[in-house]
Amino acid sequence: MQASHVYSGKIGRLKTGERNKITDVPGVTVGHVTLDQNGAQTGVTAILPTKDNVFDKKLIGCAHVINGFGKSTGLVQVEELGMIETPIILTNTLSVGDALRGLVEYKLSRNPKIGLDYGTVNGLVCECNDGYLNEIRAFHVKPAHVHEAIERASEDFEQGAVGAGRGMSAYGLKGGIGSASRVVEVEGVTYTVGVLVLTNMGKLENFTMAGSPVGKYIAELSKQEEMPDKGSIIMVVGTDLPVSTLQMKRISKRAIAGLSRTGSNMGHGSGEIVIGFSTANRISHENTGPISLSIVHDDHMDIAFEAVAEATEEAILNSMLHADTVTGRDGNTRKSLKSYLQILEEKQNR
């Protein structure tokens, strides 16, 4: 089996954005802080939905919990109000508290009325358990790392074993941060749908790459002991398509289609969460009277559904293809998917 036969570098039929990343959505930026010293194999990834102050001008947003085996913060208010007012922070499970502290500190420093003239702020922090590679009990992530990740945010960012993805595992191999985008046309106007994932889920035997059962072949090569389907994946969906909260949630739910195509059955011990946002409509924190929103007709939902499914599938594959082999806590190692694809190609060519 040749690697080129497994994955040609393109999933689906829709056109990708210029970078093939979530940052193809205008205004979206991403930043990382990576901690990779010995047993510290972890970090922070910050997704900034806009370049201005998202607390002052909030976004239409949603949260969708597929399987709730997770310890995230802020999802309840997003679900209730349908708005996002902070960057989205990704980190490891036991660092959620420190990451939330860092995010809240950052927002307070830029919004002096929070907690005084205004109410408090709803910080969004999502997590996966990187404890196989990372000394998760050591609390390596500090609030200052969140500030740094936000300040580093840009349109171009690394994928793979970086930021929050440094210590993550996907399908028994090295996982991490992945991203992809799709361009859609609605009534003659071009829009972008982008996805960023933090992958830490799945059983090797089930891993499927562009329809090919690659995990089965890798399991035979590696003789890896079969593991239960546990871990987590966080999927962030962004778009500039003008939609309502309900439409954004319907779009975000289709991330499950892309996840399933890679072989995940969303096991009991795995948490799958989607956060979605649209940059098209802004909602002022101040009461300025009735708000007018622009939304597309529901007849155009199918193309957005397809875009999310394709971008999610490709983002998951990118999280693995960009990740190098990492050795961490107690000598535990997760090998790169790339190394196995090379072995499979060599074996086929003999």
Q: Catalytic residue numbers? A: 232, 270, 272
Picking from 106, 110, 177, the residue whose alpha carbon sits closest to that of residue 145 is 106
CB 51 within 8 A of CB 29: yes
93: which residues sit within 8 A by CB, 6+ positions away? 71, 127, 128, 129, 130, 131, 136
Candidates 68, 34, 146; CA nearest to 100 is 146
Contact 194, 241 (CB under 8 A): no
**Judging by beta carbons within 10 Å of its beta carbon (0-12, 13-18, 19+), is residue 119 exposed, middle or buried?**
exposed
The backbone torsions φ and ψ at residue 311, rounded to the nearest 5 degrees and listed phi first, read -65, -35
Contact (Cβ atoms closer than 8 angstroms) between residue 115 and residue 80: no
